[in-house]
Amino acid sequence: MMGNAFIHFDNVSKAFGVMTVVDNLELAIQQGEFVSMLGPSGSGKTTLLMMLAGFEAPSSGSISVKGKRVDALPPYKRNMGVVFQNYALFPHMTVAENVAFPLKMRGVSRSETAERVGKALDMVQLGQFHERRPSQLSGGQQQRVALARALVFEPEVVLMDEPLGALDKKLREQMQMDIRDIHHRLGLTIVFVTHDQAEALTMSDRIAIFNHGKIEQIGKPSEIYDRPTTQFVAEFIGETN
């Protein structure tokens, strides 16, 4: 099972100075899965995502995708789309220019850029908004631009860190559905970081509950909610339920 996982963290630890923030972690994710990392602030969720994206290196252990080690590769060689809470669109650029930005950085030709940008904006149903500025869009639309930018290289894996944290409740629920829809349509593997239980519950195929750099329990939402296996999980889940 572990051996043929699509994404595999094998005994991964990460320390900053004397502080271990990810602690001997094992995690196997299958292709096409939507897996949420859920847990209190400071439990290591973002650090895990950063190591998968290539913005942080593990202190020990290995990370593989499709059976190949990726932990020594720079981010741009991993072909993973990344969406963060602070999606930081460039305000002076149009929607199309924002989405084209990663392509420009990599020297992709004009014609290929036009084609990829068109396709990415269609995927998030923003086909008519190419020439708008971010300030002329709603929060949800801006977040979809950020998603289009993450999809522009047609990655198989998309990493999201609290991507909906800045949105109000209604927009958030709409975006949750949009992201689920895109996940299904494109057959993406999504690793999603959140501290919002309801969000993890409605969106995920599986949820990993983090505590102090370790996964306390991983399973389908119904398993986590109906059969917590540790005191910590029971209390964490119980808190806002």
- List Cβ neighbours of 180 (8 Å cut-off, separation of 6 or more): 34, 203
Residue 231 tokens read as: 């005191």
Smallest gap, in angstroms, from Cβ of residue 63 to ligand ADP?
15
Give 119 or 195: the residue with its C-beta nearer to ligand ADP.
Answer: 195
Give 8 or 214: the residue with its C-beta nearer to ligand ADP.
Answer: 214
Among 2, 4, 11, 16, binds ligand ADP (CB under 6 A): 16
Choices 1-9, 34-42, 109-117, 220-228 (CB under 6 A): range interacting with ligand ADP: 34-42
State yes or no: residue 18 binds ligand ADP (CB under 6 A): no
Rounded-to-integer distance, Cα 134 and Cα 217, Å: 40
Give 24 or 174: the residue with its C-beta nearer to ligand ADP.
Answer: 24
State yes or no: residue 21 binds ligand ADP (CB under 6 A): yes
Around Cβ 149, how many Cβ atoms within 10 Å? 25
Cα angle value 194/77/200 (rounded, 5°) = 15
Give 46 or 189: the residue with its C-beta nearer to ligand ADP.
Answer: 46
Smallest gap, in angstroms, from Cβ of residue 26 to ligand ADP?
17
Choices 4-12, 40-48, 95-103, 118-126 (CB under 6 A): range interacting with ligand ADP: 40-48
Residues in region 41-60 near ligand ADP by CB under 6 A: 41-47
Give 16 or 90: the residue with its C-beta nearer to ligand ADP.
Answer: 16
Binding mask of the shown chain, residues 77 to 96, with x at each position contacting ligand ADP by CB under 6 A: --------------------
β-strand partners of 159: 82, 191
**CB 191, CB 161: distance < 8 Å:** no
Smallest gap, in angstroms, from Cβ of residue 106 to ligand ADP?
26
Give 29 or 49: the residue with its C-beta nearer to ligand ADP.
Answer: 49
Q: List phi, psi (to 5°) of 28.
A: -120, 130
Around Cβ 224, how many Cβ atoms within 10 Å? 27
State yes or no: residue 197 binds ligand ADP (CB under 6 A): no
**CB 54, CB 74: distance < 8 Å:** yes
Q: Reduce the secondary structure of 50-109 to three states and give it as a string.
A: HHHHCCCCCCEEEEEECCEECCCCCHHHCCEEEEECCCCCCCCCCHHHHHHHHHHHCCCC
Cα torsion through 231, 43, 223, 160, rounded to 10: 170
Q: State the residues that interact with ligand ADP by CB under 6 A.
A: 16, 21, 39, 41-47
